[in-house]
Structure formats: C-alpha cells, structure tokens
Amino acid sequence: MTDNPMEGKVALITGATSGLGRAHADYLASRGAAVVINDLTGAAEAAKQIAEEFDVPTAGLDGDIGSVEGGQQAVDCAIDSLGRLDIVVNNAGIVRDKMIFSMDEAAWDAVLAVHGKGTFAVCRAATGYFRERAKGGDPSPASIINTASEAGIFGNIGQANYSFAKGGIVALSMTVHQEMQKYGVRCNVICPRARTAMLNNLELPETADGADPLDPRHVSPVVGYLASDRSAPISGQVFVAYGGKVQHLRPPSWGEALVVTGRQLEFEDVAAFAEQLFSLESPTPPLPRHAQSISAWAQGSF
C-alpha cells in the first residue's frame, strides 16, 4: 500500500489486543501510523506482532485506564516511547448485562468505570498534552475518536449501565469538540456493530456467501479516515459503521414549541397543544438483533 496518510503520526488505541481495538491498530499501522497498544494484558505481545507485520514503531502498555492515573500513564507511554501523540482511539469496554430491576451496584460501577471514566481519563490526559503542544507553538492537528453505541442514543433492553455510559461518551465527545477545536483537536464518535468478545454468547448472522458483516475490520477504515488529517474539519459528529456501511447520525433537532406570552403557562394550554407538542411515536427504533449485545437476553434468562 503506497498511500500512507498517517505516516509520522502516533496513535494510542485502548482495548487493542483483540476485537475492534486490534483491527483499528492493524489498520492505522497499515497506513503508516506508529501505534501504542493499551489493554489489561497482552499489550506488549500485540505491539510486537504489529511492528513485525507492518514495519512501524510500536509500544505496548498493560494497564487499566479506568482512573485518571491510568489514562495519564497510557498517554505518557506514547510520548515517552514514540516521542509524541497525534491520534487517540478510545475503544476499551466491557458489558455486565442485567435488567434494570436486577442490576447490582457492582455491575453498574464496573461498566461506568471502563467506558465512562476510562474514556474521560484518556481524553483528559490527551487534551492536556495537545493543548500544551499547541500553546508551545506546534500547530499539529490531532484527532480523538471515542467509541459509543447506538444503545447510548436509543437505549437497549438489559443494558441500562452500558447505555448510560455510551450516552455519556457522546455528550463528553461533543464537549471535547467544543473545548478543543481552537487547539486544532477534533473529536468524533464511532458507533460500531461488530463481532467481538462482548458478543461471544450471541448467535450472530452471516451472509449467504459466508461473509461476516460484523467483522471488526469493516469499521476500521472509518476510524482511519477520522484519524487522518484528511477528515478535517469533521468534528463533533457521530457515525454508525458496520458491514460496508457508514451512516451519519444527525444531531437532535428541535420539535414543535408551545409559547405563551404575557401570562403564566397553564395546564389547559399544554393540553390544547398536546397533539403538536408530544409525539406519540416511539423514540426507540428497533435495533438489529446482532446489535443487541445481551447474552442473557439471547438465552432467555431475563
């Protein structure tokens, strides 16, 4: 491959020893980026494999990014080992699926620690570095790609913790976009549908020709484009990607408004305008079965 739009860039990918994270790391390396692999275990071996296959500089760091200290260590690993940082792909995640009335505090806290606090911790460390670099006279653009889910937009049965965390990632990303654009940093969100370890217990479809529409490698080119400088000025956007399809998820828009002037709004005003004001359509479009990462639901144990 002669087109290397990320040559000279350094990318940090969390949760990158397998699944989506590993696919993203391979793809960025194939396009010339040096990569830092972070995961709970196995990061050094994964980094070695990528270096041998793609002939790019790599580094690996085993560690939990679910704390400010852990996020800082991941960013420092890139800077100390490879000299800089240009791209962050927050991908690390877990599921602990239970219906809301059965969910215990441990299941709630574990998911929010990885998805929510982990994404925050890495973003905090990376944005601090990018800001200081820009203020120091280096205008090099940077890209943050955070991994959310359609569950974070529409909700999902059995995943109150996961949906809450992923919705928070979208809101966090919009804030990072607003705060960091003046420093040349863009921040976007990817909502992937992919066959990963979190879906091991589900029966997922294949096409008639045996191809796997949920191969994580279908998602990585989108991440690669958003990571490259060619995606400027795309920022503050959400994309769904899977099986050869990429779709822009438009931001929420205002609906009908009831306005009363010169007096206080009354119950009767709302009732008279209710048909226009309140949509009776379900706000939750049905997610494809393969997008529901709910192992217990699939096995009927709810």
Catalytic residue numbers read: 149, 162, 166
User: Which residues sit opposite 239 in a β-bridge?
Assistant: 190, 248
Cβ 10 vs Cβ 33: under 8 Å: yes
Long-range contacts (CB closer than 8 Å, 24 or more residues apart) made by 289-292: 289/205, 290/193, 290/199, 290/202, 290/204, 290/205, 290/214, 291/150, 291/151, 291/193, 292/156, 292/157, 292/158, 292/202
Q: First vs last Cα of the chain: how many Å apart? A: 48
Query: Running DSSP on this structure, what letter comes out for residue 231?
Result: G
Q: How far is Cα 76 from Cα 284, in angstroms, rounded to an integer?
A: 41
